[in-house]
Structure 1
Amino acid sequence: MTARNIRHTVRSPDALISTLALPIMILLMFVYVFGGAMNVGGGTFVDYVVPGIILLCASFGAATTAVSVSVDITEGIVDRFRTMAISRSSFLTGHITESLLRNMAATAIVIAVALAIGFRPTADPLRWLAAAAVLALVVVALSWLSACFGLIASSPEAANGFTVFAMFIPYISSAFVPPETMPSWLRGFAEHQPVTPVIETLRGLLVGTPIGESALLAVLWWGAIAVVSYATAQVLFRRRTRD
């Protein structure tokens, strides 16, 4: 099932290009259009903003799982799978595994572009590995959550609405500006939502800023989201494919 989904991605390069093009365009816009006006309290703006762009890339890419799951459900291909000697769990697991592989590859390309325009991480190989592990946890959790939306959506177009939500949330965090610069009524949400600890952890691992308890909060937040989303997706899939 994973190989099937990978073939679909390869045969639909427009979807892969859009997954890459949007984060890269946002990266270039923030660095070259807004970067000169940004003050992040020391260091270069590109070093500050790249961890947020990395998460934005992963979030947007993982959210597209909702669309691919909805397409399979609404087009009836799942009914054909049920007549074959295939584990019921493999359908969703294949989508999640493909999402993880696709998004980690897309993130590597975004990082390469960031390096080309001036991103200078200080991380050693162990910190790079830890950053990849944190990002993989977020992608898996968000992919399972996306699968839930794909299973309850009435059409792929409706499922596509989740990608807007996933892309919008990182903006209300520490991804692009410090939460201290936000209005007080917005600052509390920005500081205590699940995206901010991930960004602070990635920033600390890659460019050496203080991490504090962000790593623990990131694992707790996204570990819980992954477990709940996985269980919910299994229930929803059984209901959607019930005889």
Structure 2
Amino acid sequence: MLYDTWTVFWRDWVVLKRRLAKFILARMVAPMLYLVAFGWGLGRSINVGSGSYLDFLVPGILALNSMNISFNSITPVHAERIYHKSLEEYILAPIKPASYVLGKILAAVLRSLLSSTIILLLAYGFGAQINLSFWLWAVLILNAIIFAEVGFIAAMKISTYEEMSQVNTYILLPMSFLCGTFFTTQALPAALRWFIELLPLTHTSTLLRSLAAGNDLAYSSLLILLLYAAAGFVISRRVFPGTFSS
């Protein structure tokens, strides 16, 4: 199974390696705009209690970026299934469904971590104070896994490219702004806040912000992310075509 997983992962790494320079440059644009507009511009007039708004903002950008990159890294699977019909090659190959799912998820995690590293370098250049730790990277990886699984499930269940874009519109976009990325969820109405705080990106934002400030790990939020990741993997494996015939 490990060899099969590595085979699927290696294919995606070869594709990424050929486009690495373009990938890095593209990943710099949105974070720089966020840092300039919110960190330097709007952030100068915002009081977050302790530290600067830039220090408050960067963990939110990391969470948001990790979600988007990992989800969008899986969307080519939809094209492989619907348009290119190349997914059948994996179904017919002697590769376990779990290996294919895991290989794709790991490739998405790699892209997410590369992008997160770029954001951190930019943030330090803008003067942000971020404490890096093992747990901060672990939370980023967990977040990437969760939304790569969301992308995989969508790629397996959705029939058209237009419907795939609606996942971004109706699921990812609202989470991008409401899940503690740009402002604390305490500012939301109680009923909405209760729902928002059930979502994985909220826990990721909270954990990253706390860890970046040098605080202790909130194990309850970490457990919730682990449950999301485990459930997502189980569902991803079940929706993969040919799972029950293997």
Note whether the superposition's TM-score is higher than 0.5: yes
What is the aligned partner in structure 1 of residue 145 from structure 2? Answer: 140
What's the secondary structure of 2:47's corresponding residue? coil
Does residue 222 (structure 1) correspond to residue 225 (structure 2)? The answer is: yes
Hey, what's the Cα distance between the residues in 2 that align with 1:220 and 1:152? 27
What is the aligned partner in structure 2 of residue 204 from structure 1? Answer: 210
Contact 1:66–1:147 (CA<8 Å) still a contact in 2? yes
Contact 2:80–2:87 (CA<8 Å) still a contact in 1? yes
Q: Identity of aligned pairs, percent?
A: 20
Q: Given the alignment, which residue of 85, 99, 108 partners 2:108? A: 99
**TM-score of the aligned structures, taking structure 1 as reference length:** 0.84
Moved more, 165-174 or 102-111: 165-174
Q: Given the alignment, which residue of 166, 181, 204 partners 1:161? A: 166
Hey, what's the Cα distance between the residues in 2 that align with 1:114 and 1:83? 46
CA displacement at 1:232 relative to structure 2:
1.2
Structure 1 residue ranges, 4+ long, deviating more than 6 angstroms after superposition: 240-243
CA displacement at 1:200 relative to structure 2:
2.1
What's the secondary structure of 2:240's corresponding residue? helix
State the one-letter code of the partner of 2:239: L
Q: Given the alignment, which residue of 115, 134, 156 partners 1:151? A: 156
**TM-score of the aligned structures, taking structure 2 as reference length:** 0.83
What is the aligned partner in structure 1 of residue 69 from structure 2? Answer: 61
Does residue 116 (structure 1) correspond to residue 125 (structure 2)? The answer is: yes
Does residue 33 (structure 1) correspond to residue 41 (structure 2)? The answer is: yes
Hey, what's the Cα distance between the residues in 2 that align with 1:36 and 1:22? 20
CA displacement at 1:185 relative to structure 2:
4.5
Flag structure 1 segments of 5+ consecutive residues without an equivalent.
none
What is the aligned partner in structure 1 of residue 3 from structure 2? Answer: none
Contact 2:73–2:111 (CA<8 Å) still a contact in 1? no
What is the aligned partner in structure 2 of residue 195 from structure 1? Answer: 201
CA displacement at 1:18 relative to structure 2:
4.3
> Across the two proteins, how many residue pairs are aligned to each other?
236
What's the secondary structure of 1:144's corresponding residue? helix
What's the secondary structure of 1:101's corresponding residue? helix
- What is the root-mean-square deviation in Å for CA atoms of aligned residues? 2.6
Flag structure 2 segments of 5+ consecutive residues without an equivalent.
1-7
CA displacement at 1:32 relative to structure 2:
2.2
Contact 1:66–1:148 (CA<8 Å) still a contact in 2? no
